[in-house]
Amino acid sequence: MIETVDLTKKYGDFVALDGLDLKLERGDLFGFIGPNGAGKTTTIRILATLLAPTWGEASVCGYSVHTHPREIRRAIGYMPDVFGVYDDMRVGEYLEFFAAAYRITGPERRRVAERSLELVDLGSKRDELVTSLSRGMTQRLGLARVLLHDPEVLLLDEPASGLDPRARIEMRNLLKRLQGMGKTILVSSHILPELADICNRVGIIEYGRLLACGGVQELLAKVRGRPVIRIRVAGPPAAAADVVGTCPEAAAVEIRDGELRVTLAEGVNDPSPLAARLVTAGHALQGLREEEVNLETAFLELTRGSLAKPADG
């Protein structure tokens, strides 16, 4: 549904996008992750045919951004991170206005507007002024607008930006619903844990380069490396650390937050010998668990925690 090959965008000597190779299949809910200036917005604008690449290829639904921009615009729904609304319009009028822009005419225009409102749970707000809506409702209205012509592909640039926790949950549920309807969705966001919950695939980009791409668990496995075990004992942790440090199964031991943080040796996946050694040495074991690696940890590891210049989102 979406494919880029060596996609590059330069502004003079500044490289905003550097040889991006990306492929999304039908029905993917793809999370595009990266710090400000990483190249996310540049990518989305090129796919939406609003920005021409310097070189490389990009296609949506089989159409090239170079040769068939009009066909792409019919196939996509693009929602920028900031979009304008008309202050003196009511919600229903706003959607009907844009339905007319999509050349939806007659009674069908009202039906399409009503359908989009119900889909984003704003049916009760159809007669309210657009300016009376909360930030979360305004974002859902923007999503309703791009759904009017029933696009196959959605390009959503920071749709949860500035939303409160409840509005984020509502947006997350809405995106899952749209994926269930067969939409292919590319969504950029900084809200990393929520992307892990809703996306079947994610890509991490920095300085215009795609550093990693794949399923969430695949990326977590990439940065996990050797298992790290957290152990809590009843007594002073320093004495327990001395015991664990003599175990061949432990490659490194440190004390963090009152617990032992043990990196297992190469090829070791079973921490039970550590527990047995501690118990034999007279330490009362209170807890033993493998340290989890979440998407935020993976992001920091893969991007080395650095930030690109904030020239582009």
Q: What homologous superfamily is domain 2-222 in, according to CATH?
A: P-loop containing nucleotide triphosphate hydrolases (3.40.50.300)
User: Which residue is associated with the tokens 């500044």?
Assistant: 14
Residues 198-225: tens digit of each pLDDT: 899 999 898 999 988 988 777 777 766 7
Enumerate residues 6+ apart whose C-beta is below 8 A from 265. Answer: 226, 248, 249, 250, 251
pTM: 0.79
Alpha carbon distance 155, 67 (integer Å) = 20
| Tokens matching residue 179 | 């994926």
Ranges of CATH 3.40.50.300 domains, the chain: 2-222
Pick the CATH number of 228-290 from 1.20.120.790, 3.30.70.100, 3.30.390.50, 1.10.10.10: 3.30.70.100
Residues 215-263: tens digit of each pLDDT: 877 777 776 677 889 999 998 899 999 999 999 999 999 999 999 999 9
Helices (H) and strands (E) counted in the chain, each on its own, are 11, 14
Residues 162-172: tens digit of each pLDDT: 788 888 888 88
155 and 105 Cβ atoms separated by less than 8 Å: no
Q: How deeply is 15 buried, as exposed, middle or buried, from its count of CB atoms within 10 A (0-12, 13-18, 19+)?
A: middle
Ranges of CATH 3.30.70.100 domains, the chain: 228-290
Tally of CB atoms within 10 A around 232? 16
Alpha carbon distance 177, 163 (integer Å) = 19
Structure confidence at residue 193 (pLDDT):
67
Residues 29-66: tens digit of each pLDDT: 999 988 888 899 999 999 999 999 999 999 999 999 99
